[in-house]
Structure 1
Amino acid sequence: MLDLVEFPKSCLPPSGTNTVFCFPGAPAGPTARISVKKAFCINNFGPREPLLKFGTHANLEAVGVQEEDAEEPQFAARPSAQGCIEELDLNDLCRVEPGESLEEKVATLKRLQQLGVRRLNNVWCNADSSWALDVLCCAASTLEEVCIFDPSEEHLLAVQGMPRLRRMRVSSRAPRSSPLSTLVLPKAQGGLKWLSVAGLPRPTLLSLLQALSASLEVLILEAELPSVRSSVPGECHSGPREPVDDLIDLLAQCDLRLSRLVLRRYTSKGHWQKGCRAQVAALRLILPGTEVQCQKCAKVPSELF
C-alpha cells in the first residue's frame, strides 16, 4: 500500500534520491526507504505541487509508483489574523545549522501554520536558508512586520507576496556580484508602508524600491556620503571636487511617494557636512513633499524596527 507524507521543505532530501528514514514504533524488518519523486514545499502561495511517496524499497520496485492513484493530501486552512501569535523572535533558532534542532524547527513551523504570527523578528536567512524560507511562507497570510537578515532572492520574493505586510527591516552583507544583484522583483501584492534597508546590492535596492513605490511612506536607508573623485585616476578622497552620488540617480528611477526619508550614516572617515547638506538638498528636489533628513545632522532617534 502506498502512503503519502508531507515534510517541510527544509527537511526534504534532494529530489531523485533514496533516503533512509527511521519511524518511531515501526516494526523490525527490511529497511524502509523513501523514494523522493517530487519535492513538497509548504507555503501559502497557490496549490501544492508535489507528492512524496514512500514504502519499502522492494515494494516500490514490485508495484511501481502510480501517481494517478494517489490522492492529494489535505491541508489546514490558512490561519486567521485574529488569534495569531503576536510576536516571535527567531534569533537563536535561525542561527542553528541545517540538521540541528529539528524537533524545535518542525514544532515552530507547525505553530505558524496553525496560528499564524503578526510580527517576526531576527529572521536570519544564511544559517539554514531553507528553514528560514519555510518560516516566511508559513507566516505569509498573517504577517504584518518582519526583520530579515542576509536574505536570498527566494526570501525576498516570499516577502513580496505577503498581503498584510506593512513594516520591514532588511539588512544584507551580500557582495555586489551576488545573485541578488540580478534579481528583478514583481510589484508587491500588499501595502508595505515602512522600510529600513541596509547593505543590499544597488540593483536589488532599485528593484525593491520600484516594487514598493505605490505604497511606501517611510524609508530609512543606509547611505554613505557621496565620494569625491581625486585628481589622481582611480583614487577618491574627501574634499570639494566633483562629487559622485549614485543615490540621487537610483532614487530618481523609483517613482517614490514618500512622506519621510531618513539617511543613516556609517563611515569611518567622519561626517562631511557640506557633502551631506548637498546630498539632502538634491534628494529634496527629486522627492517633492518628502521630509528628507540625515540621521546624524538632524539627530533623528534610531528606529531600526
Structure 2
Amino acid sequence: MDLSREDIAPWIEAAQGARLNAYTLELLGRPIVGSDLKPTAVDPFRNMAEWCRGYLEAAADHLMLWADSVAPLKFHPDVVNVYTLRPTLTLARAAMEAAAQAVWILGPDDPARRAGRYILLATADLQEQARAAESTESAEALSAELEAILTAMELAPRRFTPPRYLHMLRDAAAFFAEGLPEHASRQSWMNADRVERLWRAASGAAHGKMWPDFEFTISGDMDEEGRAYAVPDHVAMGEFVDVAASFFAAGVVLLAVRSGRYEEWDELTAAATERLLGAMTRRGDAEG
C-alpha cells in the first residue's frame, strides 16, 4: 500500500513538532533563582530540574529516531521508505512514558506535591539501579543509600510502591486536557481512557502481543494462496505518535515555566525554528 504525502502529513507535523521542541529544550537554560525549580540558591531539591530534563531528553531521543525515519531532514527522491507498526508504537510508548513522568512532577501548582513526586520517582530509580548492580559492593552501597532515603520517608523497603506508568499517563492526559485554553480543540487522545488504550496497545506491540495487529492493521489484497496482506493503519499510527509528541511538548513548556524562563519562550522557539528550517531539505530542492 503506497502512502501519499497527504496520508503522512500528520506524521510529518508530529515529527517536525518533536524536533522543534527538542531543539528548544536544548536551548532552555537552567532554572533561575526565585523560580519554582530553584526558589533559593541552596534549594534542597536542586536535582529536580535535571531529573525532569532527563525525562524529556529521553522522550526526545525516541521521537527524533522516529522522525528521522518518517520525515528525514535530508533525503533522496528515489528512496523508498517502508513503515511498520511495531517500531512506531514501541517508540511512541517509550516517549509517552518518559514525557509523562516530567509532566507528572511539574504539573501541580503545589511545590510540596512536585517535590513529593520527584522523590518518589528518584527513589524508584535508585531501587531499580540497586537491583541491577553488577557487584555485591555496588549493590550494598546502593541499597544502603536507598534504605536511608526510605527511613527518612518513614517507609520500610517492602512498603515502598513506585508510581505506576499508567497512573502517570492518565494524570498527564487529564492535565494536558485541563491546561488547554477554552477555545482550543480537544482531540480524542486528551481523554485519559483513550490514552490508556493507546498505551496498552503500544506496550502489547513492543512485547510481541498479537492483538495490536488485529486492531491497528488494514487487510489488503489476497495473494495467490488466498492469504490477505495486512498493512498498518497509518491514521492510527499518527495518533500514537501525536500523543507522545503532545506530552513531550507539554513537558518542555512546563519545564520552561517552572524554571522561570517562559518569558524567553518566543526567543527560544524562534532560534529552534531557524535551526530546523536550515537543516531541512526543501521539497523543491529534493524534486529538482
User: Same fold judged by TM-score > 0.5?
Assistant: no
**TM-score normalized with structure 2 length:** 0.23
Higher relative contact order, structure no. (Cα contacts within 8 Å, ≥ 6 residues apart): 2
**TM-score normalized with structure 1 length:** 0.22
Whose Rg is larger? 1
User: Larger helix proportion, structure 1 or 2?
Assistant: 2
